[in-house]
Amino acid sequence: MRVVLLGAPGSGKGTHGRRLADALGVPLIATGDILRQAIVDGTPLGKKAEADVKAGRLVPDGTMLGLIEERLTAPDAAKGFVLDGFPRTVAQAEGLARILGTAKLDRVVDLVVPFEMIEARLKDRWLCGRCGAIYNVVSARPKQAGVCDRCGGALKQRADDQADTVRKRIEVYHRDTEPLVEYYERAGLLRDVDAATDAERVYVGIARAVGLAA
């Protein structure tokens, strides 16, 4: 099954995407994670993307389409995928359709949260530097402060979760990414899920939206 998760920063794409991908037995492809790793590793992609990621701007479509085309042709993506953070512009969505060809998307799930909630959620977000698991120090605390429950890695905050950069990312979301809601609605692929409620209920909504019994 081929699924895209849409939603503003902090809407829960990473947390629920992981669980959904495991349930579907397909890889989670999170372009933000790929870029952050490339930056840490100092690869040519990382060097190209670093300034944009740090400032909360979008990395150019051409760079992102090259990255996603390479990732989607890897053997593990042949049986499907969950995309988190891609596409983020209509041009990326059109490019994705070209890359997929006859292998069409099955569902696009939009995680809907009121914008007032986003800043508060991101301020309290911590993630594992080793496996990428996501925590919230208020609502989804790790068992031991600063340590990942899953792999024991150290937890850290994302540099782009600072208030100023978050505001920039929300502005970019409104301008560049929100038009995708209409784009996928017209294609008959979109399902909305209320992502402002508790995590378990959100996941049940997502599972239903893709036709899984949660």
Which position's Cβ is nearest ligand AMP? Answer: 32
Active site residue 169: yes
- 12 contacts ligand AMP (rule: CB under 6 A): no
Q: Give every strand in the sheet of 125-128, ordered side by side.
A: 134-136, 125-128, 155-156
Structure tokens at 156: 């850290």
Q: Looking at beta carbons only, is 7 or 205 nearer to ligand AMP?
A: 7
Q: Which residue's CB is nearer to ligand AMP, number 15 or number 31?
A: 31
E strand segments, the chain = 2-7, 28-30, 81-84, 107-112, 125-128, 134-136, 155-156, 190-194
Q: CA-to-CA distance for 154 and 131, rounded, in angstroms?
A: 10
Binding mask 36-55 for ligand AMP (x = CB under 6 A): ----------------xx--
Q: Are 133 and 149 in contact (CB under 8 A)?
A: yes
Q: How far apart are CA 1 and CA 19, in angstroms?
A: 14
Select 9 or 205, whichever has its Cβ closest to ligand AMP: 9
Give the residue with the Cβ less far from ligand AMP, 97 or 145: 97
Q: Site size for ligand AMP, by CB under 6 A?
A: 17
- How far apart, in whole angstroms, are the C-alpha atoms of residue 172 and residue 160? 13
Does residue number 10 form part of the binding site for ligand AMP (CB under 6 A)? no
Do the bridges between strand 107-112 and strand 2-7 make them parallel or antiparallel, or are there none, so unpaired? parallel
Of 82, 107, 87, which is closest to residue 190 (Cα–Cα)? 107
* Number of other CB atoms surrounding residue 40 within 10 Å: 10
Least distance in Å: CB of 144 to ligand AMP? 25
Spatial neighbors of 55 by CB under 8 A, at least 6 apart, are 165, 168
Residues 175-214, interacting with ligand AMP (CB under 6 A): none
Catalytic residue among 158, 168, 191, 208: 158
Query: In the annotation, is 2 catalytic?
Result: no
Residue 35 engages ligand AMP in binding (rule: CB under 6 A): yes
Identify whether 125 is a catalytic site residue: yes
Site string for ligand AMP, 52-91 (x = CB under 6 A): xx--xxxx----x--------------------xx-x---
Catalytic residues: 13, 88, 125, 158, 169
- Footprint of ligand AMP on this chain (CB under 6 A)? 9, 31-32, 35, 52-53, 56-59, 64, 85-86, 88, 92, 160, 169
